[in-house]
Amino acid sequence: MLLTIKMKMYPNEHQGKALLETMERFNEACNFISKTAWDTHTFGKIGLQKIVYYDVREKYNLSAQMVVRAIGKVAESYRVDKTCYHEFKKHGAIVYDQRILTFKTSDEISILTLQGRERITIKYGEYRPLDMERVKGQADLIYHNNTFYLMVVVNVPDADLIDPNGVIGVDMGIVNIATTSDGEIFSGKKCTEIRQHYSTLKATLQSVGTHSSKKHLKKISGRERRFKKDTNHCIAKAIVQTAKDTNRAIAIENLKGIRTNRTVNKAVRTAIGKWAFDELGNFLKYKAILAGIPIFEIDPKNTSRECSVCGYIDKNNRKTQSELCCVKCRHQENADVNASKNISFRGICQLPHRPLSC
């Protein structure tokens, strides 16, 4: 599996200026290349390189490989969309490869700038040492909030898949972020409180419009998103560990299109729009694969309306958000736990040695 590691760089003052100058010059060159590509309708990397290579080297004083990487960045952007002219931001990412970026140790790199090679300390939050042989392809140098980061792709081997004895069903929602078929509930109350706090704070600061308020807005930017991402990481890690300890697979709902398939009021739209429905599922998928846990996506239709005991489906089964009472067999249970049990059963039906009842 290919994973991206975000590494924080610790350049000194001289190195920081050199990196920033290189980044600005690189993106100036990208804009020059982009204009040429648009004017001549030449969007392929090879054809574009024949036209602009020597001009870019002479005009922007970039190394040969950095010019190649700039041409590659422009060509890749037009591969996605050729309908309009592409302009690159002043501090857009620089694409580095092994010729202009090397890892000296697990915490030091040698990176090319306009001033020559610089050796810069790096740190990253992975729990295991970086295996240099697993670094694959290119690395992106990005600049965010006056800090430089390297986005490095590494190839992590997948674990051998287990032969599961059962399936843990995971129901995802807003009130409860995740509920498992074991009855474990990960409440979304804290996330809702954080979302409401930052929404109110941002609205207040935006209405003031002073220099101080704008400075405060910039300071709090991204805090809510980082909190939710960390929460989803922790939830996914806990569920995968439970599956590993009990030798079970995991089943989750396929929630694609959840933002567009219902007409709801503004409050619900806000909650849905600000909660990363795909993120928790993606975290569960890659953590499960790394741990050797099979994971299945199932159709979520009627999982919250179906009784997990008798299988009867009726919208009247769902009395409230949190309560299910089957109108046929009178079974009562937490609605999210009931849904997760239905997800678990549908996951069991996808096992290679599925029961005959499937």
What is the per-residue pLDDT across 178-189, written as a single tens digit (0 to 9) for each? Answer: 999 999 999 878
Query: Which pLDDT does position 194 carry in this prediction?
Result: 80
| DSSP E strand stretches across the chain | 2-10, 94-96, 101-105, 108-113, 116-124, 135-144, 147-155, 167-172, 176-180, 185-187, 249-253, 295-298, 323-325, 332-334
State whether 75 and 178 are in the same domain.
no
Pick from 87, 88, 52, 84: nearest CA to 67: 52
Q: Do 338 and 198 fall into the same domain?
A: yes
Do 176 and 312 lie in a common domain?
yes
For residues 113 and 220, membership in a common domain is answered with no
In this structure, the answer to whether residues 126 and 173 fall within a common structural domain is no
- Residue 35 CA to residue 45 CA, distance in Å, equals 14
In this structure, the answer to whether residues 291 and 342 fall within a common structural domain is yes
What's the pTM value of the predicted model, to 2 decimals? Answer: 0.74
Rg (CA), the chain: 25
Which of 103, 122, 155 delimits the end of a domain? 155
Q: Using one digit for the tens of pLDDT, what is the confidence trace for 73-104?
A: 999 999 999 999 999 999 999 999 989 998 88
In a domain, 160, yes or no: no
Structural domain contains residue 124: yes
How much of the chain is helix, strand and coil, in % rounded to 5? 45, 25, 35
Q: Does residue 357 belong to any structural domain of this protein? A: no
Is residue 285 domain-resident?
Answer: yes
Residues 95 and 195 in one domain: no
Q: Are 11 and 148 in contact (CB under 8 A)?
A: yes
Q: Beta strands 116-124 and 2-10: pairing type?
A: antiparallel
Q: Are residues 135 and 10 in the same domain?
A: yes
Residues 113 and 77 in one domain: yes
CATH of the domain at 262: 3.30.420
pLDDT, residue 127, reads 47
More confident residue, 226 or 43: 43
Tell whether 255 and 197 lie within a shared domain: yes
**155 - beta bridge partners?**
2
Dmax (CA) of the chain: 80
Residues 177 and 116 in one domain: no
- The structural domain count of the chain equals 2
Give the type of residue at 67. V
Same domain, yes or no: 8 and 140: yes
Q: What are phi and psi of 252, to 5 degrees?
A: -130, 165
Is 356 part of a structural domain of the chain?
no
Confidence of residue 260 (pLDDT cuts 50, 70, 90): very low
pLDDT at 261: 47
| pLDDT number for residue 274 | 45
**Could you list the residue range(s) of the whole structural domain that residue 84 is in?**
2-155
